[in-house]
Structure 1
Amino acid sequence: MQMLLLILTTLIGCLHLFIMGLEMFGKVEAQAKAFDMPLDFVSQASAQTALGNQGIYNGLFGLMILATNFILPVSQAAQNSFMTLLMLFVLGVGLYGGFTATKKIFLMQCVPAAIALLLIFLV
């Protein structure tokens, strides 16, 4: 079960890096489609600045998840405790985004984070 948790949380970390890439470097058409926003809005300079800012958060958060899995030399209990906090953060942000931005966020962020939290508590 610990291996399944490692795989799932690694995928969540990689997802956040992918979202960062889309927010910071993606074409406006891809951004508009991915985030269910009008193309004319996403094309505005202020929207691009906001997406870039959000991208930094997602990228650093993805790196934090991956660092927790592979770099930080801590006990399994400490790693699970820290990962619980990270997954609660993903769940909270996903809930907010799902209610305010697009319902796809529930499936893309909330469901994997909830499964990871369940696995943490079962380990």
Structure 2
Amino acid sequence: MTGFILLLSGIIGLLHLVIMGLEMFASPEKQAKTFDMPHDFVTQPNAQIALKNMGIYNGSLGLTLLTSLFLFQGDVRLKVLLLFNLFVVIVGLYGGKTVTKSIYLIQALPAIITSLLIFTQLV
């Protein structure tokens, strides 16, 4: 079970690096389509600043998840992964409510499942 938890956490970490790439480096056309936002909006300089700022946070979250896989062992690793996956749950629930409903499925649901698996492993 622990191996499956580590795999899921790694996938979630990689997903956040992909999200960072889209938010920070993708074309406005791709950003508008991916995040279900009007093209006119994402081409505005302030919107680009906001997207890049969100990208930094998503990239940091992804990198900390991936780094945790290697820096910690045993129950400490599971507790750290639980913490970061719960952060992803919060971010995913807020993003699903405020940006696009697909974030619930892509971001929040995998983190909820992983968090529940970690919690059952720790109890």
Question: TM-score of the superposition, structure 2-length normalised?
Answer: 0.95
State the one-letter code of the partner of 1:55: G
Is structure 2 residue 101 aligned with structure 1 residue 103? yes
Shift of 1:96: 0.7
* Identity, % of aligned positions: 54
**Aligned residue for 1:50?**
50
Shift of 1:60: 1.0
Shift of 1:118: 1.5
**Aligned residue for 1:20?**
20
SS of 1:116's equivalent in the other structure is helix
Q: Which runs of 5+ in 1 are unaligned?
A: none
Shift of 1:122: 2.6
State the one-letter code of the partner of 2:110: P
SS of 1:41's equivalent in the other structure is helix
Q: What RMSD, in angstroms, separates the aligned Cα atoms of the two structures?
A: 0.8
State the one-letter code of the partner of 2:116: L
Q: Which runs of 5+ in 2 are unaligned?
A: none
SS of 2:40's equivalent in the other structure is helix
Aligned residues: 121
Distance in 2 between residues matched to 1:109 and 1:62, nearest whole Å: 12
Shift of 1:22: 0.5
